[in-house]
A and B are shown apart, each in its own frame.
Chain A
Amino acid sequence: GQNIDQPTEMTATEGAIVQINCTYQTSGFNGLFWYQQHAGEAPTFLSYNVLDGLEEKGRFSSFLSRSKGYSYLLLKELQMKDSASYLCAVRDSNYQLIWGAGTKLIIKP
């Protein structure tokens, strides 16, 4: 079966750095996405990786290793508004998005 694993919840301090991991087992791979979802709101796109390596976008970076079936989302200089769920999603060989359950990130002052 297809599977996306992420930690259920993480806590970090304002101003710090946090890394949210995602491992996947899917039938084929056509890219990995990270989305942010604030409570009661819709998911919004953060990043897309299809090749191995690090993609940096401001305070957020996303890393991919296809051979290990592994990605992480790195958030720097954490702000209170970063408190949200972070969803990892993998596009499989049929171009379907398989979603993880999300990691709830709690930022403390």
Chain B
Amino acid sequence: DTAVSQTPKYLVTQMGNDKSIKCEQNLGHDTMYWYKQDSKKFLKIMFSYNNKELIINETVPNRFSPKSPDKAHLNLHINSLELGDSAVYFCASSQQIGGGETQYFGPGTRLLVL
């Protein structure tokens, strides 16, 4: 069983398009995250949700909009895609946001904007 799953794994699209990435976790965790990993391999937190509520919203363009229909799902919608959005997007989950609990990562979505 996959703990944290993301779809699609690869996404190639044109500038200006709108796309969504879906994430689901079956670990029963309360907290989910979206990260962006660029070509220099920096992992940057974008959003964090705890029990469907937004708790972290880093300085991310408002073209990026997360949606959490329930605590097992956190989807990421991106409007008007730009070349600089090309990166790997990782979804992750953890039991809580504090303490020593680990974050479990999905396999990543490789987004290429042409």
Contacts and interface: CB of A to CB of B under 8 A. Distances in A.
Contact of B106 (A30, A42, A89, A91): A42
Given A42-B90, A42-B107, A42-B108, A97 B102 contact: no
A99 B43 contact: yes
Interface in B21-63: 40-45, 48, 56
B84 interface: no
A45 B107 contact: no
Interface centre among A30, A91, A95 (most CB of B within 10 A): A95
A43 B105 contact: yes
Nearest to A98: B45
B100 A31 contact: yes
A44 B41 contact: no
Contacts of A96: 45, 48, 56
Report whether over half of chain B's contact residues are helix, strand or loop; otherwise say mixed.
Answer: loop
A85 interface: yes
B10 to A, nearest CB: 11
Given A43-B105, A45-B103, A102 B41 contact: yes
Contacts of B15: none
A61 B45 CA distance: 26
Contacts of B45: 96-97, 99
Contact of A33 (B56, B102, B104, B107): B102
A60 interface: no
A87 B90 CA distance: 15
A48 B99 CA distance: 10
A106 interface: no
7 contacts: A31-B100, A42-B108, A50-B100, A89-B43, A99-B42, A99-B44, A101-B42
Given A33-B102, A48-B100, A85-B41, 15 more contacts: A30-B98, A42-B106, A42-B107, A43-B90, A44-B105, A45-B104, A48-B102, A87-B43, A91-B98, A95-B97, A96-B45, A96-B56, A99-B42, A99-B43, A101-B41
Interface of B: 40-45, 48, 56, 90, 97-100, 102-108
